[in-house]
Every structure is written in structure tokens, then in C-alpha cells.
Structure 1
Amino acid sequence: MRTEKEKSFAGEWYDPNGDPELVADRKKAMDLCHQINLLPTYSPERAELLPQLFPEMAASVVIINPIWVDYGNHTTIGANSFLNRNAFLMDEGKITIGEHCLIGPNCGMYTANHTFDPIERRTGVEEALPITIEDDVWIGGDVTITPGVTIGHGSIIGAKSLVNKDIPANVIAVGNPCHVLRALTAADKVLPE
């Protein structure tokens, strides 16, 4: 018989409060977020706590306070990525942030999904669908990313967008709901070659 945590990573409906390991992991993450957010961004104490919150985070990642997560250990953050103020990673499911990503302030990534039936919602069951941000993605401020979304390599998501479906690689996408505005081209370069 599968644990509730195993069900969550299999994309099945599960009870997040029915597994002592999940409950303990959330409590640990809340405590770590609280401690981290009270410390100066570049303090040595904070630098020691961040890998406890994000065991799968490259050493070159920069995260600006405050940071909020449900678990932290369900999130992977690649080398040279930057998370600006007030990011919230609702990582009931796996969140993968690639290398060289720029995550704007107030970005919310939400993997949890609830049942449509109001009586079923009372039970607290949910499903967790992964979010993937591929390498070199720039996400503007106040962007919301919903369960199961992948944002392709090199793409840009405009500020205040609601990303509720996959976005292909190397495009600019904006809006609510987020849609592709245009492809990125050589004309977008500003530095001499």
C-alpha cells in the first residue's frame, strides 16, 4: 500500500494531513522559512539554513527574503538562478527550476489542486501536479503558475501573467490567461557579438 507522499508524487489524489512524514516536513519548512526570513539576505547563518530548506539547490543560487515554501525538499533549483522577494513555492508536487532562471518578486508556483465537489473538498484530499521551469527562463513580477505547467527553455513570462498551460521554448508570453505574444529572435539581442 502506498503512502500519501508516494501517491502525491504519482499524481494521485492523496491526503496531505494523513501522512506524518508530510506533516513533519511542512512544519520543518515553516520553521526554516521563519528563521531564514528574519536574517539578513547575505548572512552566514542564512547561508547555512537555505540548503536545509532546499537540499536540491545549487550553491550559486540567490534567494532574496522573504521566501515561502510548503516543503522545500520537493523543489530543485539549478545553478545561477535568482528568486526575488516574496516567492511562494507551493511544492506539494515537484517544482523544478532550471539553471540561469530569473524569478520576479511575488511569483507563486502552485502544484496543489483540489476537488471540484464541495463536499469532497471538506476531506482535504488534493492532487499535486509538477511544475517545470526550464533553463534560462525569465518570469516577471507577480506571476502565478498553476499545477502541471512547463515553461520552455529561454522563454519570458510577462509581469502579472497567469500561466495555466504549457509555454513553449524561446517565446514571450503574457496575460491572463498567459498566451504566446511572439517568438524571441536575434533582433532581441542588445549586446554586440
Structure 2
Amino acid sequence: MSTADEREVLERIGRGLIYSESEAAFQAPLRRADLVFAYNQTPPSDGARRRGLLESIFASVGERTILNSPFSAAFGGNVHIGDDFYGNVNVTFVDDVEIRIGDGVMIAPNVTLTTTGHPVHPARRVDFARFSEPIVIEDKVWIGSNVVVLPGVRIGYGSVIGAGSVVSRDVPPMVVAVGVPARVLRAITDADLTTRTTAPQ
């Protein structure tokens, strides 16, 4: 594939249009699967090596980052993580395009952040055809266990995504969203500052 052809495919990817596995094959060397494997095999006690591997895997990593192993990433190099991040076991980053995660974000076990989907009609899924749209998770978001965040979604500041939800559309700031598909359940208010501050009666 020529450089001009590669540029055309990248432009299509950037516009959220359909592209195939063969067309995107030139990106394969950018995958950091061996580094992800190495991280997942490194003892938690070897903090310096784990930190170095995260810096090699991801596009950017903030301070005081905790990412429990194992995790997986399609590329790794399209993921940006802010400060004070906590990711529990089995986080999956399908980062064919950018995933941007702000500061103070917490992600529970078995969460998938996927920037990529596939056409509904089978005739359009030849050669693993797909589309990709970036994901943005703003500061102070908490994502519960077994959540799936789909392509093109932005989750607003401070919001909570309930366990088992599928987030298929944007979530505004400072709300609790739950369900399949996820919908806003309620706003987060100052009343939430007083919950679980005393023992149950």
C-alpha cells in the first residue's frame, strides 16, 4: 500500500467511516502486545518496572497511576491516562483510535472501553470491516464492574456508571447512569456527601 493510500485510510478512520482489516494492516507494527504481555507477567512488587512499561505502552500516563494486571489493549499507544487513575483487573482498551481518560478516574473490574464497532449488515463486515470513534472519560468519573463503553462516547465530569451498564451515548457531568443501554438515573447532589457516614441502624 502506498503512502497516499495509507493517508486515505487514516482519513477515513478519523471520520468514523468503514475500513477493513487489510486496509489497516499497515498499522499492525504499532501494536504493543508484547509490552502488555510483559506488564501482565511483572510482579506487582516491581513498581519501577511496571511504571516503565506503562510509559512505553500508553501515549501518556499521569502520576500515581495504578493499573492492576491483567489488562489488554489493541494498540496501547492511543490511550491517554491522567493523574490518580485506578484501573482494576481485566480492563480492556480497544484503542484503534484515541481513548482519553482524565484525572481521578476509577475503573472497576471487567470494564471494556471500545472505540471500534462493526456494521450491522453482514455484507459490510467482509474482511472484518469496522469503524472507530474516540472515547473521552472526563475527570473524577467512576465506572462500575462489567461496564462496556461504546465508540464515540464522552462521560462527563464526576459521573458514575452503574455496574453492568452499556454506555452507547454521551453521559452528562455529575449524574448516575445505569442500564442497557445506560440512561441517567439521577443527578449527583450535596446530599450524596452524607451517605454511608454512619453505621446502619
Same fold? TM cut 0.5: yes
Match of 1:31 in 2: 34
Q: Which has the higher strand share?
A: 1
Match of 2:18 in 1: 13
Tell me how far 1:190 sits from its aligned partner: 3.6
Match of 2:169 in 1: 165
Gaps of 5+ in 1: none
Q: Deviations over 1:45-83 (max 9, x none)?
A: 222111110131113211111110001111111111111
Matched residue of 1:135: which SS? coil
| Structure of larger gyration radius | 2
Matched residue of 2:183: which SS? strand
Give the distance between the partners of 1:17 and 1:31, measured in 2 at CA.
22
Give the distance between the partners of 1:24 and 1:6, measured in 2 at CA.
19
Alignment CA distance shift 1:16-1:122 (3 Å): closer
Tell me how far 1:20 sits from its aligned partner: 4.7
Structure 2 residue 108 is matched with structure 1 residue 97: no
Residues 9, 94 of structure 1: 8 Å contact kept: no
Alignment of 1:58-77 (within 5 A): 58-77=62-81
Residues 3, 19 of structure 1: 8 Å contact kept: no
Name which of structure 1's ranges 39-48 and 95-104 shifts more when overlaid on structure 2: 39-48
Alignment CA distance shift 1:173-1:140 (3 Å): same
Q: Deviations over 1:82-120 (max 9, x none)?
A: 111110010112111111000111100111121222122
Gaps of 5+ in 2: none
Match of 2:191 in 1: 187
Partner amino acid for 1:70? A
Q: TM-score, normalised by structure 2?
A: 0.88
| Aligned residues with identical type, % of pairs | 35
Tell me how far 1:39 sits from its aligned partner: 0.8
Residues 4, 16 of structure 1: 8 Å contact kept: no
Match of 2:27 in 1: 22
